[in-house]
Amino acid sequence: MGEMRVERMQLLSLFPPAERGEGKVIFGSAEVMHELDDESIHLVVTSPPYFNAPFDYPDFFPSYDAYLQMMERVAKEIFRVLARGRVACVVCDDVLVKGVRYPIVADLTRLFMEVGFSYRDRITWLKPEGYIRISRRSGVLLQHPYPLYAYFDNVQESIIIFAKGKFDYKSVSPETREASRIDVERFLREKWYLNVWQITNVLPHPRRLEKGVAAFPEALAFRLITLFSHKGEVVLDPFLGSGTTLKVAAALGRRGVGYEINTNLLPIIKEKLRGLSLDIIIRSDAISIPLPSGGR
């Protein structure tokens, strides 16, 4: 597929603006989700900040320990609000900050297990190679074609999936199950059954709505919400960003709740969720951080 065509497809959202459905957006830190009752959420789909990644908020966290402590508080809250047997899907990746590599995938896996989750699966999200040019880092080998000069360009992220105990399949009515039937033809055609998903990332473009937000693609949320929730259920994204999870949840007939700390994202969220009936709460712990120019 030509680059131009991929780019055009990327600019067209998978879904038109959500025309029905409802969503709740709470501006405040997901470290405390007191608006949500215990076991009231059926699925979590999220992508946390990647420590001080240059595309997120450089120097936002004072240390890696402070970052992990924040993530631990959020993981505890996710465990509390998630219903028994349900899953949390966390899109994340290791980061390289000022020459130091931080093992975020390994640390979040350990941390989610420590708060009570079992580790269910890990999917590699593979991005198209066409958009990566050999970097100065990996290109060092061209200058020095000898052993130990090898460094690698990243074309993947991880989707780590955690379960809160065993799911009781009988807890869902036959009608709801049937209304949530998965399109098996698509499942096979797009190879959803593999633990490597080839999905184009949200490409940098001056006119894109998510400018300054490390948004994940709608196709990724689409697969996770289809596979792990039923129609009418509630999907939570504790790190809402531009609102991708809520948009896809509404398009799939699910209700959505999102937490976002940065009030500067309000206009982007409103635009992305245009057509949705939105309940917006701005708590006193919300902050206003200028948006960086970045993207996955």
Ligand X SMILES: C[S@@+](CC[C@H](N)C(=O)[O-])C[C@H]1O[C@@H](n2cnc3c(N)ncnc32)[C@H](O)[C@@H]1O
Half-sphere exposure (Cβ direction) of 14: Cα atoms closer than 13 Å: 20
Looking at the Cβ atoms of 10 and 262, the one nearer to ligand X is: 262
Reduced to 3 states (helix: H, G, I; strand: E, B; else coil), residue 74 is helix
Write down the least CB distance from residue 87 to ligand X, Å: 17
- Decide: is 229 part of the binding site for ligand X (CB under 6 A): no
- Decide: is 68 part of the binding site for ligand X (CB under 6 A): no
Cα-trace Rg, the chain:
19
- Decide: is 111 part of the binding site for ligand X (CB under 6 A): no
Q: What does the DSSP assignment read for 139-196?
A: THHHHS-STT-------EEEEEEEESS---GGGS-HHHHHHT---HHHHHHTTTTSSE
**Distance of alpha carbon 132 from alpha carbon 129, whole angstroms:** 6
- Decide: is 109 part of the binding site for ligand X (CB under 6 A): no
- Decide: is 258 part of the binding site for ligand X (CB under 6 A): no
User: What are 147's two structure tokens?
Assistant: 């052993």
Q: Which of residues 143-202 bind ligand X (CB under 6 A)?
A: none
Q: Give the interface segment with ligand X, choosing from 130-138, 178-186, 192-200, 236-244 (CB under 6 A).
A: 236-244
- The answer to whether the CB of 108 falls within 8 A of the CB of 90 is yes
Write down the least CB distance from residue 32 to ligand X, Å: 9
Looking at the Cβ atoms of 91 and 163, the one nearer to ligand X is: 91
Looking at the Cβ atoms of 163 and 248, the one nearer to ligand X is: 248
Residues forming a β-bridge with 124: 158, 196
Looking at the Cβ atoms of 156 and 171, the one nearer to ligand X is: 156
- The answer to whether the CB of 91 falls within 8 A of the CB of 125 is yes
**Distance of alpha carbon 47 from alpha carbon 216, whole angstroms:** 8
Which member of 23, 212, 241, 256 binds ligand X (CB under 6 A)? 241
Looking at the Cβ atoms of 216 and 228, the one nearer to ligand X is: 216
- Decide: is 235 part of the binding site for ligand X (CB under 6 A): no
CA distances from 128 to 122, 157, 199 (A): 19, 12, 7
- What track of x and - describes contact with ligand X for positions 82 through 101 (by CB under 6 A)? --------------------
Looking at the Cβ atoms of 121 and 285, the one nearer to ligand X is: 285
What does the angle CA 10 – CA 239 – CA 132 come to, to the nearest 5 degrees? 35
The residue count for binding ligand X (CB under 6 A) is 21
Which residue's entry shows tokens 């949320």?
Answer: 221
Using CB under 6 A as the criterion, which residues of the chain lie in contact with ligand X when the complex forms?
Answer: 29-31, 47, 49, 70, 210, 213-216, 238-239, 241-242, 244, 259-262, 265
